[in-house]
Chains A and B, each alone.
Chain A
Amino acid sequence: MTFVPKPKLSHPELPKNSLGLTRRDYEGAVSTLCAGCGHDSISAAIIRAFFELDLPPHRIAKLSGIGCSSKTPTYFLGRAHGFNSVHGRMPAVATGANLANRELVYIGVSGDGDSASIGLGQFAHAMRRDVNMVYIVENNGVYGLTKGQFSATADVGAKSKRGVTNTESSIDLAAMALVLGASFVARSFSGDKAQLVPLIKAAVLHRGAAFIDCISPCVAFNNHAGSTKSYDYVREHNEAVDSLDVIIGREEITADYEPGTVETVVLHDGSTLRLRKLAPDYNVHDRVAALAHIQDRERAGEIATGLLYVGPESKDLHENLNTVAAPLASLSDAELCPGEAALETLNAALR
């Protein structure tokens, strides 16, 4: 653990975004995770993505459960709202927060233990309700915080640090998210920021539940030979289906591509996702094909990464429930408590 504060001094030519902030303004406290933990790289990618999106930090809410991964919101976006909840309960808290105030940008950070074991039910419902949020699972195949027990995402045949082989079948959270109805599903790797940063940006811009399963090696307990979540293993077996550029706002698109090699997705706010296809004939809008592709690659011992599926942007939870648009905290007493007469009318309607 690093005890010294990160120096405030920075590169004098550090770029500023349209808010006049530098990337450093999106940082949090110095990480207390093990040196080299993949989770720290994901934090760095989140910092970069939010900086590049020109989002004001105080309009962001970060939520998490329990685990090393769930500790990371302390290490990014120090000026944002944060809620570190109970083990596996981030989705419930995020759903509630979102219901109370739809104006904030929600990012939930969880672990494979947090989301695939204790919180599996919570995860499922956030996906099927299509809560407008970014949901990142920092997936290392172990319970890092409790010293490296296999988690539910550990692959069959993977060896633990002590040499024990995992025999229980693994949960593929990206595949589950597809099945459960998430409208944006991606997989990435903490060691590949060129892929991860645009995915996070796209996930933020996408309306609805945007799920990223991010493989994130645990250097302390799951980075040895025999692990299928180590830096070396993931680098060797990483097969991206596409490579993503995010064009924010209505910027001119200038680059030329061979016809059929680029897929363009226009989002509700006019931003554009430009996907360069790496797997031939991959259709990012076909949920069933995406699922088949993931499982096909898994059978071949490879890991499918990239933007795996993006559906039509959802009517989110609020539209489905027809909730009030204003944040609850901004409602007046009279609006919140319309009085006896109103109650009477309501009761009468139910008789």
Chain B
Amino acid sequence: MQPTDIRNPDYFHKVVDCQWACPAHTAVPEYIRMVAGRRYADAYMLNWQSNVFPGILGRTCDRPCEPACRRGRVEKEPVAICRLKRVAADYKGDIRNRLPRAPAHRNGKRVALVGGGPASLTVARDLAPEGYELVLFDTAARAGGMIRSQIPKFRLPEQVIDEEVGYILDLGVKTELGTTITSMKSLLAENYDAIFVGCGAPRGRDLDLPGRHAAPGQIHLGLDWLASVAFGHVKEIGRRVIVLGGGNTAMDCCRSARRLGGVEVSVVVRSGFTEMKASPWEKEEAMEEGIPILNFLVPKEFRVDDGALKGVLFEKVAAQYDANGRRRLVPTGEPEVMMPCDDVLIAVGQENAFPWIERDIGITFDRWDMPIVDETTMQSTHPRVFFGGDAAFGAKNIIWAVAHGHEAAISIDLLCRGEDIAKRPPPLVNLVSQKMGIHEWSYDNVVSDDLRYRVPHREHEVALSDIAVEVELGFDEETAFAEAERCFNCDVQTVFTDRLCIECDACTDICPTDCITFTANGEEPELRRRLAAPAHDIDQALYVSGGLKTGRVMVKDENLCLHCSLCAERCPTGAWDMQRFLLEPALAGHGCSHRPEKRAA
């Protein structure tokens, strides 16, 4: 293998599994260290910079970082990255004087934002301080999108939304609330310098079964029902409720139903329990609230008698796999199951809809009726129109909406400056030795043996009695510290200088996870088989040095490195050093377009 080029920012970035997996590339270990040091406001601001909604995301993020977290590969569970973000938000105090302000002088450019969800709000956050005039349109009376209209308040209190949406609107964003955009053509005619479409994926998928429309007061689309609950139009539901579907919406529906009078609430899914789209923790929490999840049941009919819903009829199925491993659900032949109920909530998927975008104005749609959008620039086939969030590539989640918003803001900024939007500004990268003394580092290199701490919950009686009562209480400071200590500090990189190595084996001998091997060089697949410990995860890089005195090379499997610094401590020559790698993704403005192409690490 060629010696690893650690000057390429991607190399060390990938080692920070959580940051790499975060769509907005939040510098996770850096903020976790800040939380451990009780620097909550700093931790909050670092998050705010990259993910814009730390308080909201600290409660609701889909957390792609956690399955990626290295700790989960060495012991049972990853670091509670998400809930430590909430800690930063909970304990930060007043940070308003650290926020940017609307500039006194505008730059004369106008940008329209269609929809007031997290995608549009991110574009606004990034562009407002740069002097852009932003006009945000939303049908709803208040900004926030589905964060406000869908996510139940027992998971996300209203005041957290108000606070973080407020920080953005206070930057001088003009809002046109209660306003639905009905024609893109007319909007384009208003001569905005750019238009950002962040209208989400607003339509709940329906189930076209017999009886579907026979009892309209009792059979609801989950998405619409949740919105009615969120805005206080719906305050109760029947005793017996069936929720159809196994995604996030279904989980929010069933738990909301439990709080509005539903006593026997069940979730019914077509396929297996393990294949459900909902996150494991969502399923767990629903079940803890006394909601059974029944699987391999396909709904056949809504039984309605005299305009009154009696129940739902299900066919029992089993999973069968063909030669290609593809799964089919086949009826078992057992008698159908009739489940009596008072209400049904249909939560079987979410769809995009763009009835207000004319198809003859230069915005091309593909055969699934989705706009064609560039994945890097977020630009549509119309140069002035950008998409982001659920509107761009279908329903995802908040953190993806934020990531799209950042990229769209960069594109809009470049476009308005007359620059090439394909030339993306590089991230800011910084690599600094953490050595303080012979065996002293400026980070806490002791590896904690603690298992993951559970966030305390409010007791069921209280939680289930009021839909506005937040279930999770958040970590207290002590537990937050202990949980923060579980982080390996994967951003503190092991940097190897081959010309200093005397091949004494000290690092190999001490390494607790057998990461380091000195051996003859070879091609990667073959080399992987010759390492000190199994190294079959090819997504995890091998760090290969240049040739050493004996003709061998140092090969480090990055996969399970605990970043404990022991290799560096036991190295007599300083060939190993622990260096903190800080990567700040580029944002619109901040002089980013004037940064040199690629800054060496």
CA distance A112 to B208 in the complex (A): 87
CA distance A223 to B566 in the complex (A): 22
CB A21 to nearest CB in B, in angstroms, measures 16
Q: With a CB–CB cut-off of 8 A, which chain B residues contact A40?
A: 506, 509-510, 570
A11 interface residue per 8 A CB criterion: yes
CA distance A10 to B73 in the complex (A): 10
CA distance A35 to B571 in the complex (A): 5
A60 interface residue per 8 A CB criterion: no
A5 interface residue per 8 A CB criterion: yes
Q: Chain A residue with minimal CB distance to B438?
A: A1
CA distance A190 to B509 in the complex (A): 12
- How many residues of chain A are within 8 Å of chain B by beta carbon? 35
Given A35-B572, A40-B570, decide whether A219 and B509 contact each other with a Cβ distance below 8 A: no
CA distance A38 to B447 in the complex (A): 26
CA distance A235 to B505 in the complex (A): 14
* Cβ-defined contact, B572 with A9, below 8 A: no
CB B489 to nearest CB in A, in angstroms, measures 12
Q: With a CB–CB cut-off of 8 A, which chain B residues contact A41?
A: 504-506, 509
Given A7-B562, A11-B513, A219-B572, decide whether A231 and B533 contact each other with a Cβ distance below 8 A: no
Main secondary structure of the interface of A (DSSP, over half): loop
Q: Chain B residue with minimal CB distance to A223?
A: B502
* Cβ-defined contact, B505 with A34, below 8 A: no
Contact code string B548-583 (vs A, CB < 8 Å = 1, else 0): 011000000000101011100111110000000000
B503 interface residue per 8 A CB criterion: yes
* Cβ-defined contact, A36 with B504, below 8 A: yes
Sort chain B's interface into a size bin.
Answer: 20 to 34
* Cβ-defined contact, B504 with A219, below 8 A: yes
Q: Chain A residue with minimal CB distance to B448?
A: A7
* Cβ-defined contact, B550 with A235, below 8 A: yes
A-B contact count (CB 8 A): 99
CA distance A235 to B445 in the complex (A): 34
Contact code string B486-526 (vs A, CB < 8 Å = 1, else 0): 00000000000000001111101110111000000000000
A12 interface residue per 8 A CB criterion: yes
Q: Chain B residue with minimal CB distance to A193?
A: B505
B449 interface residue per 8 A CB criterion: yes
Within 8 A of A (CB), among B526-563: 533-534, 549-550, 560, 562
CB A156 to nearest CB in B, in angstroms, measures 25
A8 interface residue per 8 A CB criterion: yes
* Cβ-defined contact, A35 with B533, below 8 A: no
B439 interface residue per 8 A CB criterion: yes
* Cβ-defined contact, B446 with A5, below 8 A: yes
CB B308 to nearest CB in A, in angstroms, measures 56
Neighbour of B514 across the interface among A11, A34, A36, A231, CB < 8 A: A11
* Cβ-defined contact, B504 with A191, below 8 A: yes
Q: With a CB–CB cut-off of 8 A, which chain A residues contact B570?
A: 2, 31, 35-36, 40
B294 interface residue per 8 A CB criterion: no
* Cβ-defined contact, A35 with B569, below 8 A: yes
B74 interface residue per 8 A CB criterion: yes
B351 interface residue per 8 A CB criterion: no
A232 interface residue per 8 A CB criterion: yes
**15 A–B contacts from the bound complex (CB under 8 Å):** A2-B569, A3-B439, A4-B564, A7-B512, A7-B562, A7-B564, A10-B74, A10-B513, A11-B533, A30-B510, A31-B570, A35-B571, A37-B504, A191-B504, A235-B549
List 5 extra interface pairs beyond A4-B446, A31-B510, A219-B502, CB under 8 A: A2-B570, A9-B513, A35-B571, A41-B505, A191-B503
